[in-house]
């Protein structure tokens, strides 16, 4: 009796794995899964290409076009982030002015000169940290942009390969 339960358990596990792979093969691939030569290196994605046919290649074409437009989207994303920083600085500007007035009142009391000096040092350190962070962010955006530009010629070639495969599948 227990042997039958064990065999049933094993069969149900393999059946579940088979069914889940079958269902997975009808889902769209996550991102660009085709290499530069238009080949599909992953077995699961090869199965998806067989099952989905033209739909698979249309999705890959959309992903390639999205990657080709990536440099422009990086620029607009960076500009949007800069605009948000400007808006936040405008919104917090009034609060900073009030805070500075409060610090002026505190530091003008007798005996607070050494605290004013430490406050000035703190402000200078904050400015230095902000400049370093901004330089790091700018370096990141430049690296991402340059990497996207370098990849663009091979993406254009891949787009042409995928379009050819799409016309072959449509026939």
Say whether pLDDT at 160 is over 60.
yes
Residue 42 DSSP code: S
Question: Is 106 inside a domain boundary?
Answer: yes
49 with 89, same domain: the answer is no
Say if residue 80 is in the same domain as residue 47. Answer: no
Same domain (yes/no): 30, 88:
no
Residues above pLDDT 90, as percent of the chain? 6
Q: What is the mean pLDDT of residues 137-156?
A: 88
Say whether both 128 and 166 belong to one domain. Answer: no
pLDDT tens for 69-78 read 888 888 888 8
Task: Examine the pLDDT at 30 and tell me if it is beyond 70.
Answer: yes
Residue 104: inside a domain = yes
pLDDT for position 2: 77
Q: What distance in Å separates the CA atoms of residue 29 and residue 59, rounded to the nearest whole number? A: 8
Six-digit token string for 71: 């440099």
For 12-29, what is the mean pLDDT?
Answer: 69
Q: How confident is the model at residue 123 (pLDDT cuts 50, 70, 90)?
A: confident
For residues 77 and 147, state if they share a domain. Answer: yes
Domains: count for the chain: 2
Banded model confidence at residue 157, pLDDT cuts 50, 70, 90 = very high
Q: Residue 41 pLDDT more than 80?
A: yes
User: What pTM did the predictor assign?
Assistant: 0.59
Residue 39, pLDDT above cutoff 80: yes
- Better-scored residue on pLDDT, 59 or 4: 59
Domain contains 119:
yes
Query: Do 148 and 77 share a structural domain?
Result: yes
On the question of pLDDT at 169 being above 80, the answer is no
Q: Are residues 102 and 82 in the same domain?
A: yes
The C-alpha torsion from 109 through 113 and 115 to 118, rounded to 10°, is 150
Q: Higher confidence at residue 22 or residue 99?
A: 99
Residue 111: phi, psi to the nearest 5?
90, 0
Residue 147 lies in a domain: yes
Query: What DSSP designation does 75 have?
Result: H
81 and 43 inside one domain = no
In this structure, the answer to whether residues 48 and 18 fall within a common structural domain is: yes
Residue 157 lies in a domain: no
Q: What are the respective helix, strand and coil percentages of the chain, to the nearest 5?
A: 85, 0, 15
Residues 83, 143: one domain? yes
Task: Tell me how long the chain is.
Answer: 171
| Range of the structural domain that residue 52 is part of | 2-67+162-170
In this prediction, residue 111 carries a pLDDT of 62
Look at residue 140 and tell me if it is in a domain.
yes
- Predicted confidence at residue 112, as pLDDT, reads 61
């Amino acid at each position: 009796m227990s042997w039958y339960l064990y065999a049933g358990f094993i069969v149900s596990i393999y059946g579940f794995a088979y069914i889940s792979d079958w269902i997975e093969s009808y889902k769209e691939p996550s991102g660009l899964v085709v290499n530069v030569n238009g080949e599909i290196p992953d077995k699961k994605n090869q199965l998806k290409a067989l099952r989905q046919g033209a739909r698979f290649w249309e999705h890959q074409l959309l992903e390639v076009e999205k990657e080709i437009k990536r440099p422009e989207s990086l620029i607009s994303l960076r500009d949007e982030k800069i605009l948000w920083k400007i808006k936040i600085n405008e919104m917090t500007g009034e609060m900073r002015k009030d805070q500075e007035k409060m610090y002026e009142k505190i530091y003008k009391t007798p005996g607070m000169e050494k605290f004013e000096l430490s406050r000035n040092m703190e402000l200078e350190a904050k400015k230095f940290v902000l400049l370093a962070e901004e330089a790091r962010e700018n370096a990141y955006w430049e690296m991402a942009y340059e990497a996207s530009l370098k990849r663009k010629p091979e993406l254009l070639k891949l787009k042409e390969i995928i379009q050819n495969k799409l016309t072959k599948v449509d026939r």
